[in-house]
Structure formats: C-alpha cells, structure tokens
Amino acid sequence: MSLAGVSCLVTGAGGFLGQRIVCLLLEEEKELAEIRVLDKAFSIEALKNFTNFKGQTEVKILEGDIRDVMFLHSACQGVSLVIHSASIIDILGIVEKQLLWEVNVTGTQLLLDTCVRNNVQHFIYTSTIEVTGPNCRGDPICNADEDTAYWSSPGFLYTQSKRLAEMSVLKANGQALKDGGIFLTCALRPTYIFGEESPFLLNHLDQGLLNKNVYLRRSRKEALVNPVYVGNIAWAHILAAKALRNPEKVQQIKGNFYYISDDTPHMSYADLNYELSKELGLGVEPHLPMPLTMWYYFALLLEIVSFLLRPFVKYIPSTNRKLVILMNTPFTVSYRKAWRDFGYVPRYKWKEAKQRTSQWIASVIPQRREYLKIKTA
C-alpha cells in the first residue's frame, strides 16, 4: 500500500536520521500530498535538500519547539501520519537534565496528546536499542529478538527518557479519536546508526585525525554489535508507515516495537570506524588504552572528580562507567520480526552502505583537517 494522498509530519527533520526519512519519502512516495518537516532549527544544507525537491509533494518547513503546545497543534492539523524522530541524544551529561527530559519525554507526550486531539491516525516513534541494553552488568546478547528476556537497568538519563517515551507511544495505541477513528502507533528500535553526515562518525574522525590518522580504540574487538545504515532505518520507517495503513498488516504491527538492523557485519564500534576509513589511510589502535576493568574504575574516578567539582565548575568527563559498558558489551539483535510483520528488508547492502559512507568521509577530511588546525592553534 502506498502513502498516496497522505499528509505527513516528520519531527527532528533537520537531524541526521530525520533528513534521510524526509528525502526517502520524497523519492519513493511521489504521490504524498504533503510533508511537514519540523525541527528547532535547520541547517542551510537541510533546507536546500527540502526546497530543491521538484516533485508534486508540498514541503512545508516548520521551525519551532516541540514543547510548545500551540506550535504542535498548528503542525498537526490536517495530518494523518506522524514520524517522530526528534530527540536529544546525550551520553556524557553535556545537556541539562531538565532540557533532555522535557524534549524526550514531555515533548513526546505533548505530541501524542496533540495527535489524538487532531485526529492523526498513525504514529511511528524512533526509539533506540539502548532501551533494551546493555545493562549495568554488561550481560551480552547475541542475535536477540523482541521476545528475548533481558534484565534492563536504568542506564543513561538519555536511555531512561527514551524508554519512557516509547512506553507512552505504545500505551497510546488504540485511543479513540474525536472523529471516531482509532489512534495506531508503533516504535522502531534501531541499533547504532552510521552513514553520511553522522555526527558520531565526524567526532570519531576528528579524534583519529588528531591522533596521527589512527582511530582511538574505546571498544574491544570481541564486543560485537550490528550497526545499521541510516538509509535502511529510514526505509524501515516508510515500510512501517505503509503497514499501519494496510488492513492486512496493521493488526500485527500496531502497539508493537521492532528491532531494526541490516546486513552490516558484526564488529565493534572501533572496528566499524576502521572498516569505513581504512582505504583512506586511517588506522585504529590495536588495544584499549588500559585493561577493561581498570578503565571502568578510571571512569568511576572521573565521575567522582566531576561530582566533587560540581559546586565550583561544570566538568564533563570524557567517559563514564555506563559508556565503557556500552562500548564493550557484545550486543546484537535480529530484524526477523520486522521482516515478518511489515516486510522490512534492508534497501542498501553493506557494500553500498560502506561505499557511500567512505566517500562522504573522504570528502570531509580536508575541511576537518583545516578545522582542527585552527582549533588547536
């Protein structure tokens, strides 16, 4: 089933994933009536991507705060599908706790309430694999599915916020709309997302260039994960949207969450950086900076220092215990349920995803070198 005639709202549309969702919608669903792209702010490049589109679909730019009820009300009027990818990602404690919570939890609930008041029929939430784990013990998972039992611990504040937001989304499924319809929701839990324009890859690249073209190793080789290419998670959102509108599939998908991965080989985070850049002359450190247990307690020491300095100065450690566990726990999941329930199959194979990402990295290396030269001068 196509999305012909649908008016769609995409939140977080100025971000790494949100832009890809919008561009893929414009490319694949040429009979969409309208796409409203919502974010706090848009880069010049994002605006060019949206405004240069030559198809029939109307693209409306909405700049505003997801915590603004009146803004959300205006954004959702006349919309039948919402893809909610907006969130603040923070694993180092850089963002103020109240802001992160207000955007990720309160903002999601406000958007859900607004959708119900405006008779929005379908809602897809971009969650995260971190809602599942790893937990604080670093218990590994191999090729898990949505029914795999796993003890979850609180994790980062970011993780807690995403877990509560996802719960709100799935709980909202089945609510009655004012026009007599039913509100249908689902959530997608992607693994670590890589690809062109990734801010995380850019940060790792900067560190590698400063380290004489050698990526820092913060994850041991044995800590296998299965990253997902940004184009594939964007594609999963579109397939989920179609399924929510399909009478033959909606019964399976509504009110459920789904793991989304692809055929990217299982490898550690550090080795992913290397695989994407080795043909460009970048290497990766062979070992962790110190034995894993020692590194864990070193992170604890940094956290204690940060706590003691808090009354005087805001010191953000470069790592913490939760990050050490996250980076060094084997954690892989399967997308079998997404394939079974709404036909998700990766649109981009690993070879193409790697090539696209590597070409982007090659294109930004010169400007990153200049930027770092100025920054460290």
Residue 251: per-residue pLDDT: 93
Q: What is the pLDDT of residue 45?
A: 84
Percent of the chain with pLDDT over 70: 100
Catalytically annotated residue among 158, 229, 274, 344: 158
User: How would residue 172 be classed by pLDDT, with cut points 50, 70 and 90?
Assistant: very high
Residue 178 — very low, low, confident or very high, per pLDDT cuts 50/70/90?
Answer: confident
Per-residue pLDDT tens for 207-221? Answer: 999 999 999 999 999
Domains and CATH numbers, the chain: 7-199+226-265+331-349 (3.40.50.720)
Contact 166, 187 (CB under 8 A): yes
pLDDT the model gives residue 342: 96
Confidence of residue 268 (pLDDT cuts 50, 70, 90): very high
Is pLDDT at 143 greater than 80 in this prediction?
yes
| 3-class DSSP string for the chain | CCCCCCEEEEECCCCHHHHHHHHHHHHHCCCCCEEEEEECCCCHHHHHHHHCCCCCCEEEEEECCCCCHHHHHHHHCCCCEEEECCCCCCCCCCCCHHHHHHHHHHHHHHHHHHHHHCCCCEEEEECCHHHCCCCCCCCCEEEECCCCCCCCCCCCHHHHHHHHHHHHHHHHCCCECCCCCECEEEEEEECCEECCCCHHHHHHHHHHHHCCCEECCCCCCCCCECCEEHHHHHHHHHHHHHHHHCCCCHHHHCCCEEEECCCCCCECHHHHHHHHHHHHCCEECCCCCCCHHHHHHHHHHHHHHHHHHCCCCCCCCCCCHHHHHHHHCCEEECCHHHHHHHCCCCCCCHHHHHHHHHHHHHHHHHHHHHHHHHHHC
Choose between 152 and 218: higher pLDDT: 218
Q: What is the pLDDT of residues 327-337, one digit of tens each?
A: 999 999 999 99
Mean pLDDT value of segment 178-206: 96
What pLDDT was estimated at residue 156?
A: 86
Residue 1 predicted with pLDDT over 80: no
**pLDDT over 90 (residue 155):** no
Q: Which residue has the higher pLDDT, 53 or 157?
A: 157
Q: Is residue 158 flagged as an active site residue?
A: yes
Is residue 112 very low, low, confident or very high in pLDDT (cuts 50, 70, 90)? very high
Tokens 């949207």 locate to 241
Section 74-82 average pLDDT: 96
Residue range 24-51, pLDDT digits in tens: 999 999 899 999 999 999 888 888 888 8
